[in-house]
Amino acid sequence: MRYRRLGSSDLEVSEISLGSWLTYGGGVSDAQAEACVRKAFEVGINFFDTANVYSRGGAEEFLGNQLAQRPRDSYVLATKLYFPMNGDRGLSREQVLKQIDASLARLRTDYVDLYQCHRYDFDTPLEETMEALTEVVRQGKVRHLGFSEWTADQIEAALALVPRVEKFSSSQPQYSLLYRVPEREVIPLCKENGISQIVWSPLAQGTLTGKYRPGEEPAQGTRAASSQMGWSMDRFRDDDVLEAVQQLVPVAEGLGITMAQLALAWVLRKENVASAIIGASRPEQVEENAAASGIALDHAILEAIDDAVGDVVVR
Ligand SMILES: NC(=O)c1ccc[n+]([C@@H]2O[C@H](COP(=O)([O-])OP(=O)(O)OC[C@H]3O[C@@H](n4cnc5c(N)ncnc54)[C@H](OP(=O)(O)O)[C@@H]3O)[C@@H](O)[C@H]2O)c1
């Protein structure tokens, strides 16, 4: 496993990290989830992403129980706030102070390495949010700050408040070879300002593994077949997308790597992407995906990828 520095922070994160949306404390059994976390440590993953809202606190509780057995400096822990939790929501000072304490209790730790705004809060002045986040950093409950799915304007507005407030270290956008919107504005702006990307759904929720075939029902046991989780995948289930993804099979085979590894190496080709946050329902997936770290794709391969999927990419 290789590691990259997170923005201008002192955090070194594994190029492949393990997330917990729809999976841990929820859709995946605890035994399988525990095996995934164990495998993650075995293959050198040191970076774990969660959120207060995942399984309504269940994902944080699950991770807290797993991580409490390990030295605190052996992992980098990221969580988020914003989405509704038992009547609470948003990024007001009151919410920041309340949600960080609730997350720390569930995560069984005194601090998180990265505290992220899950979305932008239009109902709270940005200054109030940034001052509250700065307060929890100064209290030692949070080491570094991040945001998820903020626009370039919102990021610039937060940067304009520095150094009065703490500076963001990370941006968490959806990014994959099928969904490239961050390339337009967010990645160039962040690169200029020492903010790294940690990207979500780099496998388009499993679509880029090639396991979903056009015109066929998804196999039992996959996310797309799950009544609990399949709702989230609609946009990746169109036959034209699935047909394009099948065109990547010979590209991966030619390199002697798997489709998942090809898709992960593709997001990591950008220096500004510090980590690809994978989801995993089985330890074998963790092992396969972790092996994408260190795979370099040359210009001809990047062109072959664009030839295969160019028409269905969201830009
Ligand atoms: N900030 C945000 O708003 C936001 C939004 C979404 C996600 N996230 C973060 O990003 C993380 C990753 O998102 P994601 O779960 O959508 O990522 P993903 O890596 O694109 O998809 C993960 C799913 O794909 C399947 N899969 C993974 N590796 C595979 C392999 N080698 N072979 C076959 N199938 C494989 C598994 O599902 P099955 O085995 O069940 O098919 C797995 O749960 C989340 O856990 C969360 O931490 C953040």
Identify the DSSP state of 147.
Answer: E
In the reported structure, the alpha carbon of residue 145 is separated from the centroid of ligand 1 by a whole-number distance in angstroms of 23
Within a domain: residue 278? yes
Q: What is the mean pLDDT of residues 222-249?
A: 88
Within a domain: residue 169? yes
* pLDDT score recorded for residue 235: 78
Q: What is the mean pLDDT of residues 188-210?
A: 98
Q: How far is the C-alpha of 275 from the C-alpha of 15, rounded, in Å?
A: 4
CATH number at residue 32: 3.20.20.100
The pLDDT-based confidence of 231 (bands split at 50, 70, 90) is: confident
Residue-wise pLDDT for 55-80, tens only, equals: 999 999 999 999 999 999 999 999 99
Within a domain: residue 229? no
What 3-state class would DSSP assign to 1? coil
Atom 26 of ligand 1, residue of closest alpha carbon: 206
Q: How far is the C-alpha of 202 from the C-alpha of 264, rounded, in Å?
A: 6
Within a domain: residue 12? yes
What 3-state class would DSSP assign to 57? helix
Within a domain: residue 241? no
Tokens of 279: 């989801």
Tokens of 85: 């939790």
Within a domain: residue 223? no
In the reported structure, the alpha carbon of residue 278 is separated from the centroid of ligand 1 by a whole-number distance in angstroms of 5
Within a domain: residue 308? no
- Which of 28, 201, 220, when mutated, tests ligand 1's pocket best, judged by the most ligand atoms within 8 Å of its CB? 201
Q: How far is the C-alpha of 207 from the C-alpha of 42, rounded, in Å?
A: 26
Predicted TM-score (pTM) of this structure: 0.98
* pLDDT score recorded for residue 229: 72
* pLDDT score recorded for residue 40: 98
Within a domain: residue 200? yes
Indicate if 54 belongs to the active site: yes
144: pLDDT strictly greater than 80: yes
The pLDDT-based confidence of 254 (bands split at 50, 70, 90) is: very high
Ligand 1 neighbours by CB, cut-off 6 Å: 19-21, 23, 49, 148-149, 172, 200-206, 209, 211, 222-223, 260, 277-281, 285, 288-289
Q: What is the mean pLDDT of residues 38-48?
A: 98
Q: How far is the C-alpha of 92 from the C-alpha of 125, rounded, in Å?
A: 8
Q: What is the mean pLDDT of residues 301-310?
A: 97
How many domains is the chain built from?
Answer: 1
Helix, strand, coil abundance in the chain, percent, nearest 5: 45, 15, 40
Q: Atom of ligand 1 at shortest distance to CA of 27?
A: 40
Query: Which structural domain range is residue 174 located in?
Result: 3-209+270-296
